[in-house]
Amino acid sequence: MFDIVVVGAGLAGSILARELAASGRRVLLIEKRPHIGGNCYDFFDSHGVLVHRYGPHLFHTSNEKAFSYLGRFTEWHEYEHRVLAVVDGRQVPVPFNLNSLAMLFPPSMAESLEKKLVDRFGFGVKVPILQLRRTDDPELKMLADFVYEKIFVNYTVKQWGCRPEEIAPEVTERVPVFVSRDDRYFQDTYQAVPKHGYTRMFQNLLDHPDIHPLMNTDYKDVVTIDTSSGDIRLFGSPFAGELIFTGMIDELFAFRFGRLPYRTLDFSFESLEREYFQKAAVVNYPNNYDFTRITEFKRIHGQKLRYTTILREYPRDYKGVEQEADTPCYPMFKQENQALYEKYLQTAAGFPRLTLVGRLAEYRYYDMDDIVVRALDVFAQQFA
C-alpha cells in the first residue's frame, strides 16, 4: 500500500512526506501526538488568541530557499523579534548590546566600555560571552562578568540544568554580547511567522492525495524492525520500502545503550482581560524566578483583541517516553552524550533502508530554517 513510511509529522517529516508524495510515492505519515506540526503546533485559544502550544516559534533566516519553500504553503506576517531581560529591576534588550550598556551603566562608563568594545571587536560583531570573559582588559572583563552573572549564568542553569562551561559552544554562542544598537533578537534577512498560524501551514503542506496521515499512533504499534536482519514489517506484514525516522534515535533502538538526555519544558498559560501584559513579545527572567521567560503571543501575531494570553516556561529534565506529558525539546550537548549518540548512529548504519532526520533523530539542535534545508537536501540526495 505504501512506498515510504515517515515517522513524525514535525517540520522534517512533513517536508519529506510532501516532497516524496509530489515525486509519485505513496507515503504513510505516522504521528504519536493528536496533531500535526510537531513542536510548531499552534491554535486559537478560547479568547481567540493564536498561541504556540510548545513555546514561541519564530521563523528567521537569510536562506532564500528555506523562506521561499515554506512560502508556498503560507502567507507571511512580517515580525521582527525583540526580547527584554529583567536586570536589577530594569528591562533591557537582549542579546546584551550597546543600548543595554547605556541603560545599566553611568554615561561616562558606558561610553568608555562602548569604545573599548568597538576598538577590540569592531562594530556590529557578536562576541560570545565566554570569549569576552577571557579578555585581558580589566574594564571589559568587568563588563563580561557583569553580563555573565546578571543575564547569562542563572538563565543557563535554569534552561539546561548545568553551568555554561559544561555545555557545548554551539549553545553558549547563541547568547552573545552584540556590539551594536540593533535591538532585534535576530538579524536575518527574512523574519516572519505564518499569517494564519503554523498549523494551517502544515495542513497546506500535507494536503496531497498520496500522503496518508496516521495520527495519535505510536509507530511501534505499526512498524517493527528486526535488529538482527534489518527487515521492516508494517502492520505485521513485510515492508519493502524505506523508513524515514524523525523521533528519538535511542527509543528506536529500545534504549539498548541507555537513554540520551534531553531537556523539556512545562508550560503555564494564562489569559488576562487587558490589551497587553508586557512591553515585548518575550521577557526573560534570568534571576529570582523559577521560570525562564514569559511570552505574550498577541505581540507576535499583531492581533487586536480584548484579552491577551501569556505563557511561562519552566525547564526541567525530560523524564522519558513513559511520561505522557513529557516532550523532548533540547538535546543535552555534552561530550559524553555525543559519544552515546555515536553508538546509536553506528547501529543505525546497519539498516540501509532507514534514514534519520531531525533534532531528535540526529541529536542536534536545528533552527527551523536549518531543518527545512536539511529535509530538502535529504530528499534531493537520497530520494529524488
Q: 313: helix, coil or strand?
A: strand
| Gap between the Cα atoms of 384 and 378, Å rounded | 9
Q: What average pLDDT does the structure give for the chain?
A: 94
To the nearest 10 degrees (0 to 180), the angle between helices 138-147 and 107-121 is 100
Determine how many CB atoms are found less than 10 A away from the CB of residue 314: 14
Q: Note the pLDDT tens digit of each residue in 134-193.
A: 899 999 999 999 999 999 889 989 998 888 777 777 666 667 899 999 999 999 999 999
Q: Is the pLDDT of residue 357 over 90?
A: yes
% of the chain with per-residue pLDDT over 70: 97
Task: Find cell 574594564 and name the residue.
Answer: 139
Residue 28 phi, psi dihedral angles, 5° rounding: -100, 120
Q: Note the pLDDT tens digit of each residue in 265-274.
A: 999 999 999 9
Q: What DSSP state is assigned to residue 306?
A: S
Q: Note the pLDDT tens digit of each residue in 306-346.
A: 999 999 999 999 987 555 567 888 898 888 899 999 999 99
| Burial bucket for residue 26 (CB in 10 Å: 0-12, 13-18, 19+) | middle
User: What is the pTM (predicted TM-score) of this model?
Assistant: 0.94
Within 13 Å and on the Cβ side, how many CA atoms surround 113?
Answer: 29
